[in-house]
Chain A
Amino acid sequence: MSARLGEVFERCRAEGRAALVGYLTAGDPNPEQSRALLLALASRCDVLEIGMPFSDPMADGPVIEAASVRALAAGTHIADVFEHCRAVRQANPDLGIVLMGYANIPYAMGFDLFASRAAEAGVDGVLIVDIPPEEGGICDASFRQHGLDRILLLSPTSTDERIRLACDAGSGFIYYVSLTGITGADMGDITGIRNKVAHIQSMAGGMPVCVGFGIKTPEQASQVASFADGVVVGSHFVSQVAANSDAAAALAALSASADAMRAATARETAV
C-alpha cells in the first residue's frame, strides 16, 4: 500500500475540504500536448487519475471514449503513459497518482511488470474498471508487492456483501460511481448519493470514499464535497480538451475549470 494516498486525504480533511480527484486520458489529444494538460491539472488536484487509452473502453461514455480514440490515433503507447506519470510525479511530490484503465492493458504486459513500471514511475494506486474484487487473484499480489493501492469501485447496485468485499480487497480509497451509467452521464439524485455514501463510509473503516461520474459544475462538486471524502471530475475535464483544438486554449479552459472545481471542494465556502 502506498502511504501517499492516505496522507492526501488526511491533509484535505485537516484543511476542511474534500479532495479533488481529476481525470485525463494520457496521450489526449497527442503525447506532447497531453503532458502539459496533465501537469496543469495535477497542480490543481489532490489526486490525479491518469487514464490508459484502450481500444474498447466499455464502461466509458462518448467523451472519454473519444479521448481514447484520439490518444491511440496520435500514437500513444503504454511507455508514454508511464513517462507522463513520471513527469507529473517529479513536479508534484505530494500528489496522489492513480492509473486508471481496462484489464487487457496490464494483462498483456503481465501484472508484475506493469506494477513495477507503474511504481517506478511514481504511481500510488491502480484502478482497473473491469477487474472486480472477485477477479483480483490475477493482479492483487503484484500490486501489493510493488506498494500500489488497488482502488475499487462501488455503485448504486452494490449490495452490502459487495461493499464489504470492496472494503476488504481495496485500499487507498473507494470510488463510488454515483449513478448506474457510463462516465459523463447526468448525475443522479443527490440525496440518494449522500445516503449511500454515508452507508459505505460506515462500512469502510476509515477508508476515504470519493464520488464520481457525472459531476459537471462547481455547484455539483460543492454538494458532493459536503459529504464525500473526494470529488472525482473526469468527463468534464476531458471535454475541455475536446472542445478546444487550439493547444493554448485547451490548457486555459482546463486550468480555469480545474480552479473552479478546486474552489468548490472547500466545505466551509458557499459557492
Chain B
Amino acid sequence: MSRLPQASPDHPVYSFDITHAPDAGGHFGRFGGRFAAETLMQPLKEIEQAFYAAWADPEFHRERLDLLKNYVGRATPLYHAERLTRLVGGAQIYLKREDLNHTGAHKINNTIGQGLLARRMGKKRVIAETGAGQHGVATATVAALFGMQCDIYMGREDMARQMPNVLRMRLLGANVIPVDSGTATLKDAVNEALRNWVATCEDTFYIFGTAAGPHPYPLIVRQFHTVIGQEARAQILEQAGRLPDVAVACVGGGSNAMGLLHPFRGDADVRLVAVEAAGYGLQSGKHAASLAAGKAGILHGNLTYLLEDDEGQVQGTHSISAGLDYPGVGPELALMLEEGRLQLDSATDDEALLALQQLTRCEGIIPALESSHALSAGCRIAAGMRPDQLVIINLSGRGDKDMNNVFRHLGWLEGEQ
C-alpha cells in the first residue's frame, strides 16, 4: 500500500505541504507568471503574502476545514458506481462526489479559502467572474456567510444558459453584472472583473474561480481544491486497498482537475487524464480544447495554452457547458502536459449529453454538463481496461443548473405549451 502524503496530525487525510510550487515569480516552468497591469501588481503581491501567511497558520486551516466539514459537507463520498461499471464493462468506476458539496459543485472549496483570505485582509467587498454560474454562486454564498458585498461578472450569453444560477446569486444578495463585450462568455467576464478590480483593489478582493490567472491565483486555487484529491486518495486506499490506475477530470481553466489530480502527481503509476470540451468536434474549430488545439500565449495574467489566431487575437470558443467555455487553461496543466505527466482527452457536446443521461438513468445521479465531459471520456477509458483496474472520475458538480439547457438540446421543450 502506498504511503499517504505527509498529513497533519489533526487532519490525517489533509496535507498542508505545498508540493510542485511555482518559482518566486509564479512560473510553472515556462508557463504562469504575473502578466498583469502595474496597478494590480501590488494587490497581487499582498494576496500572495496573505496566502502564504494564512497557509502557515494552523488557525486558518482549523477555520477552513471546520467550514468545509460543517458548512460545505466534506468529506464528499467516493462512490463505487457498480451499475455504471457493469454497463461500461471494464475497469471499476469510482465517482468523487463533488456534486454533493453545498452549492452543488467543487467551486466552494476555493471560495471558502479565498473568502477567509479576504476577511483576514480586511476587505469588505468581493468580486468574481463566472461561466456556468457555479463559481458565482459559491462566491455569493461565501459573501453572504461572511457579510460581504458581492458583485459577480457574467457573460450575457452565459446568463441565458444558466438562468437558475443567476437567480440563485441574486437571492444570495449578490449583484450579477451582465457582460456584453467580446463573446459575452467567461473570458469577457474575467476581463470585466479585472477592470473593476483595477479600480477597486483597495477595499475589494477578487475571488478568482479557476487555477489560472496571474500569480498567486493558480497556486492558491490549486491548494484550496487539493482536498478533493487528498480525500479521494485516502478513500480509494480504504475502499479498494490500492491507488487508482487512472484519475479523470474535465478541464476548462482547471480548478477541479488540479484539485483531483495534483495529489496523485507523485504516484507514477496513476495515469492523470484531463478531458477538454470538444464542442462540435476538434476538427470543427468550434470547441474549447486549448491544450489539444491551442498554443502558448499570454492572457489574463499568465502564460499558458490559448486558442488564438496566427496574430495572437484570442478566439471565441464553443462548448455546450458554460463552465468549460474558456480559451485558456491553467499554466500548471500546460506544464504537466509538456512534461508528459498529463494525458489529454476530450468529449464533444453530444458525448457529454449522452454521458449525462447514462449516469442519470443508471445510477440516479444527474451530473453537471462540465462533469459529463469527464464521465464520457472516463467511461470510454474504463471500457478498454480490465475489471481489476480502478478509475476515479471527478463528478465536479450536479446538473440541476443545466436542466433547461439539456431539455432544449434533447428537444423536450419544443411543442410543449
Contacts and interface: CB of A to CB of B under 8 A. Distances in A.
Interface of A: 54-62, 65, 69, 72, 77-78, 102-109, 129-132, 134-135, 152-159, 162, 166, 177, 179-182, 185
A17 B298 CA distance: 38
Contacts of B181: 62, 65, 69
Contact of B38 (A77, A132, A185): A132
B35 A103 contact: yes
Given A108-B310, A157-B43, A162 B297 contact: no
Interface string B341-358: 000000000000000000
B6 interface: no
A33 B33 CA distance: 38
B314 A55 contact: yes
B137 interface: no
Which residue among B25, B40, B202, B312 has the maximum number of chain A CB atoms within 10 Å of its CB? Answer: B312
A56 B311 contact: no
B312 A157 contact: no
Given A55-B314, A104-B314, A182-B195, A132 B297 contact: no
Given A104-B297, A134-B25, A58 B191 contact: yes
A105 B35 CA distance: 13
A26 B310 CA distance: 18
B34 A157 contact: no
Contacts of A130: 35-37, 298, 301
Contacts, number: 120
8 contacts: A65-B181, A104-B306, A104-B308, A104-B312, A107-B296, A130-B35, A130-B36, A162-B41
A60 B35 CA distance: 15
Contacts of B312: 54, 104-109
Contacts of A54: 312-313
Interface in B296-341: 296-301, 303, 306, 308, 310-315
Given A103-B298, A109-B312, A131 B41 contact: no
Determine chain A's interface SS by DSSP, over half rule: loop
B38 to A, nearest CB: 4
Contacts of B194: 58-59
Nearest to B24: A134
A105 B36 contact: no
A111 to B, nearest CB: 11
A182 B199 contact: yes
Given A56-B182, A56-B300, A180-B202, 8 more contacts: A56-B188, A58-B194, A61-B195, A132-B38, A134-B33, A134-B41, A157-B43, A182-B195
A158 B299 CA distance: 22
B198 A182 contact: yes
B197 to A, nearest CB: 9
Interface string B275-313: 000000000000000000000111111010010101111
A155 B39 contact: yes
Contacts of B298: 102-104, 107, 130
Interface of B: 25, 33-43, 181-182, 187-188, 190-191, 194-195, 198-202, 296-301, 303, 306, 308, 310-315
Contacts of A152: 38
A212 B38 CA distance: 14
B216 to A, nearest CB: 13
A84 to B, nearest CB: 15
Nearest to B187: A56
A180 B199 contact: yes
Contacts of B40: 157
A181 to B, nearest CB: 4
A61 to B, nearest CB: 7
B393 to A, nearest CB: 33
Contacts of B200: 180
Contact of B35 (A62, A131, A155): A131
B38 A135 contact: no
B311 A180 contact: no
B191 A56 contact: yes
Contacts of A65: 181
B311 A135 contact: no
Contacts of A185: 199
B299 to A, nearest CB: 6
A56 B299 contact: yes
A126 to B, nearest CB: 15
Contacts of B41: 132, 134, 157-158, 162
Contacts of B43: 157
A57 B297 CA distance: 15
Nearest to A213: B39
A132 B36 contact: yes
Contacts of B300: 56, 58
B39 A107 contact: no
A155 B313 contact: no
A55 B187 CA distance: 10
Contacts of B35: 103, 130-132, 135
Given A130-B298, A180-B198, A105 B311 contact: yes
B42 A59 contact: no
Contacts of B306: 104
B43 to A, nearest CB: 7
Nearest to B200: A180
Given A59-B195, A72-B313, A155 B25 contact: no
Nearest to A66: B181
A78 B311 contact: yes
A57 B187 CA distance: 11
Contacts of B201: 157, 180
Contacts of A69: 181
Nearest to A154: B38
